[in-house]
Copies of this chain bind each other. A is one copy, B any other.
């Protein structure tokens, strides 16, 4: 059986584990190419349920240790789904808020942001490259399957993202909130969006957002003690999403 170690430029990726694969099956069954099952294991109720549903959809299931070894799956990972990466585009509707991540560099953070985004009703995430891979098995795992509920589109620069906003909705005037420390920044509790036509923008874990975002967008700062340098990126993004979705 032919099997490839995951690489970013491949058109397909892997959901490691029955729970993640079940999220994939619920949301995007047509993307699943084939499924690997760890040989010689007892099938509990949850595993039996997903296997039955995969069979009902005529998805190819084969027992093989190779996939588990090559992908470094943990012992408790019993099922792997190989799937075509979706090619989604963002919704630019004026009632659709968006998240823009500029150069995120950690798969754990990106996955956790996805999980919070789905939790708080944000379905559209723009990723500005260079960035970690939204469909890396590690990102998928950290997202707990939330990645399969999202429209994700990558852009080579923030200006390309803005151009795409204008091109797809010429009359829309999207409000851009950049999370950063800046003299002109409002603190998060002060900010109340007028409508849902906004984007929350977050920078890289180490370097944050470029300084010119303070003038070309509306800077926002989460009040915090001087005893820490910053909040964790996924924490900051999640607090921001929580705040905005409450208003």
Which A residues have a C-beta under 8 Å from some C-beta of B? 108, 112, 115-116, 118-121, 144, 146, 149, 189, 222, 224-225, 227-229, 231-232, 234-235, 238-239, 242, 246
- With both beta carbons as reference points, the residue of chain B lying nearest to A189 in the complex is identified as B246
The answer to whether A231 and B108 touch (CB under 8 A), given A225-B120, A242-B239, is no
Identify 18 residue pairs between A and B in the complex whose beta-carbon atoms are under 8 Å apart, listed by A's number. Answer: A108-B108, A112-B232, A116-B231, A116-B232, A118-B225, A118-B228, A119-B225, A119-B227, A119-B231, A120-B224, A146-B228, A149-B227, A231-B238, A232-B234, A234-B234, A234-B235, A235-B235, A239-B239
Is B189's CB under 8 angstroms from A228's CB? no
Which one, B144, B149, B189, B232, contacts A115 given CB within 8 A?
B232
Looking at the assembled complex, report how far the CB atom of A65 sits from the nearest CB atom of chain B, in whole angstroms: 26
Residues of the B chain whose Cβ atoms lie less than 8 Å from the Cβ of A144 = 228-229
* Distance A225 CA – B241 CA, assembled complex (angstroms): 13
- With both beta carbons as reference points, the residue of chain B lying nearest to A188 in the complex is identified as B242
* Distance A15 CA – B120 CA, assembled complex (angstroms): 36
Is A119's CB under 8 angstroms from B224's CB? yes
* Distance A224 CA – B120 CA, assembled complex (angstroms): 6
Is A242's CB under 8 angstroms from B222's CB? yes
The answer to whether A235 and B146 touch (CB under 8 A), given A108-B108, A189-B246, is no
Residues of the B chain whose Cβ atoms lie less than 8 Å from the Cβ of A118 = 225, 227-228
Apart from A108-B108, A144-B228, A234-B235: 9 A-B pairs, beta carbons within 8 A? A112-B232, A118-B225, A119-B225, A119-B227, A120-B224, A120-B225, A121-B225, A232-B234, A239-B239
